Amino acid sequence: MSRSILVIESEPWLAEHYQRTLERRGFAVKCASNAYSAIDSIDSDLPDAVVMNVDISGASSIALLHELQAYTDTGMLPVIVCGRASDVTLDELQPYGVKRLVDSTTMRPDDLVAAVRSVLL
Amino acid sequence: MSTASFGYEQGKREGSANDASLIVATAHELSSPLVLLRQLGLALVSENVSEDERKLLSERLVLTSERALRMAVSLSMASLSQQKLELEPINPISICQDVTHQLTPLFAAHGQRIALQPRSRVPLLVGNRDLLKQILLSFGDNALYYSSQTYPVRMSVTSHSGKIRIGIRDYGPAVPANIWQQLEARISRHAVMPLASRPHASVVGLIAAKRLAELMGGAIGITRHRDGTTFFIDLRVSGQMSLL
């Protein structure tokens, strides 16, 4: 059975691109455009991993990470953040359960796939 | 419903964000469309892309580039001086038609719609055509994700108390009533994070729009609705008809 990934990305064309990239590598992908719809999606169907942009709409990404950390099941979810390495570091995000930071200014589609695979090992 | 507007005198009192901070904020904002352009480009040259997908990706590349370029043009215009600016009587309906025509392909590509509220006769306003168009394009770009086929982003033109108001009404999340003061304060603190409720809104674009309006002796503002926001610009009615 394919592993499920939730992509949280406000820019629909970028979300679609991530979805296509991951689906072509065999993952089942759902997308959420903001923190609230992400929580709804996680509530109804817990994914195996989350890929999220730092700049999302609704509550901030940090608020969403806090929310996920607050519960036993979602607190274990591996999270990969796509963001500008000049704005945020993995050290800053690790306390919120983030396992990987992919620099959105230099990432290639394979980098995203590799990051997802690495947290699902 | 609440309305707030910010004019030239108020802008002078508050002072401008310093240029270095504005550069940082601009770099931050321009990186978003550039990240998207890069990913679209990578998708375009990847294997297993059908002809239909290639066409779609190419269209998205063009529309995203145009949007980024509009932001860049706004910023370069915001540095104009008032002395060099030529003001003239302008038909507000005609400029709104130009703006909706220019933004329609971008909105359609996102499954959204922008429309001009029909209005037959409106007095001419006094402004600079290029600057006004840039402000309206900036408001339109910010409203992109906050409409639908049923509830399009709607441009409207009204006249009241010797002023012409051009508004762009969307159905997006609420924004603070004192948004421009907050944005300028944030930029002066080098806090270049996007608006939490609207990450796609260009903070720099909104500040540039405020400056462009002030250059024409006008003011921009917002009206908050229960289910969205109208960003508007007020400009003086042209008095040329009174000379006839």
Do the chains contact at A55 and B199, CB–CB below 8 Å? Answer: yes
- Cα B204 → chain centroid: 10
Do the chains contact at A57 and B197, CB–CB below 8 Å? Answer: yes
Q: What is the pLDDT of residue B136?
A: 97
Do the chains contact at A10 and B200, CB–CB below 8 Å? Answer: yes
Range among B2-11, B25-34, B97-106, B226-235 rated most confident: B97-106
Dig out the tokens for A105 from the structure.
């200014």
Q: What is the pLDDT of residue B239?
A: 79
**pLDDT band, residue B14 (cuts 50/70/90):** very low
B2-6 β-sheet, strand order? B2-6, B219-225, B228-236, B163-170, B153-160, B114-116
Contact list in B for residue A84 (CB cut-off 8 A) is 28, 31, 35
Q: Does A103 reach chain B within 8 Å, measured CB to CB?
A: no
Q: Which residue has the higher pLDDT, B53 or B243?
A: B53
Q: Is residue B18 scored above 80 in pLDDT? A: no
What is the percent of chain A with per-residue pLDDT over 70, rounded to a whole number?
Answer: 97
Instruction: Determine the residue of chain A that is closest to B31 in CA distance.
Output: A105
Fill in the DSSP letter of residue A9.
Answer: -
**pLDDT band, residue B219 (cuts 50/70/90):** very high
pTM over the 0.90 mark:
no
The DSSP annotation for B39-96 comes to HHHHHHHSSS--HHHHHHHHHHHHHHHHHHHHHHHHHHHTT--GGGPPPEEE-HHHHH
Its domain, for residue A73, covers: 4-120
Rounded to an integer, the average pLDDT of A76-93 is 89
Do the chains contact at B199 and A84, CB–CB below 8 Å? Answer: no
Q: What is the pLDDT of residue B164?
A: 96
Rounded to an integer, the average pLDDT of B62-76 is 92
Do the chains contact at B199 and A20, CB–CB below 8 Å? Answer: no
Q: What is the pLDDT of residue B78?
A: 78
Contact list in A for residue B37 (CB cut-off 8 A) is none
In a mutational test of the B interface, the residue from A10, A11, A14 whose CB has the highest number of chain B CBs within 10 Å is: A11
Q: What is the pLDDT of residue B19?
A: 66
Q: Which residue has the higher pLDDT, B200 or A112?
A: A112
Q: What is the pLDDT of residue A39?
A: 93
> ipTM of the predicted structure?
0.90
Smallest CA–CA distance, residue A94 to chain B, in Å, is 20
Q: What is the pLDDT of residue B11?
A: 46
Rounded to an integer, the average pLDDT of B69-74 is 90
Instruction: Give me the helices (H) in B110-178, please.
Output: 129-143
- Asked if residues A28 and A58 have their Cβ atoms less than 8 Å apart, the reply is no
Do the chains contact at B64 and A20, CB–CB below 8 Å? Answer: no
Q: Which residue has the higher pLDDT, B80 or A72?
A: A72
Q: What is the pLDDT of residue B241?
A: 62
Q: Is residue B3 scored above 60 in pLDDT? A: yes
Q: Is residue B194 scored above 50 in pLDDT? A: yes
Q: Is residue B36 scored above 80 in pLDDT? A: yes
Contact list in A for residue B35 (CB cut-off 8 A) is 14, 84, 104-105
Contact list in A for residue B198 (CB cut-off 8 A) is 57
Rg of chain A (C-alpha set): 13
Q: Is residue B148 scored above 80 in pLDDT? A: no
Do the chains contact at A11 and B198, CB–CB below 8 Å? Answer: no
CATH of the domain at A35: 3.40.50.2300
**In chain A, how many domains are there?**
1
Q: What is the pLDDT of residue B69?
A: 94
Do the chains contact at B194 and A55, CB–CB below 8 Å? Answer: yes
> SS3 helix, strand, coil % of chain A, rounded to 5?
45, 25, 30
Rounded to an integer, the average pLDDT of B107-124 is 90
Rounded to an integer, the average pLDDT of B236-242 is 79
Model confidence pLDDT, tens digit, residues A36-84: 899 999 999 999 999 998 876 555 788 899 999 999 989 999 999 998 8
Contact list in B for residue A10 (CB cut-off 8 A) is 145, 199-200
**pLDDT band, residue B173 (cuts 50/70/90):** confident
Contact list in A for residue B34 (CB cut-off 8 A) is 105
Do the chains contact at B32 and A55, CB–CB below 8 Å? Answer: yes
Rounded to an integer, the average pLDDT of B153-171 is 94
**What does the mean pLDDT of chain B come to?**
83
Q: What is the pLDDT of residue B8?
A: 44
- Cα B203 → chain centroid: 10
Contact list in B for residue A7 (CB cut-off 8 A) is none
DSSP 3-state of B121: coil
Per mean pLDDT, which range of B32-36, B106-110, B178-182 is the poorest? B178-182
Domains of chain B: 2-243 (3.30.565.10)
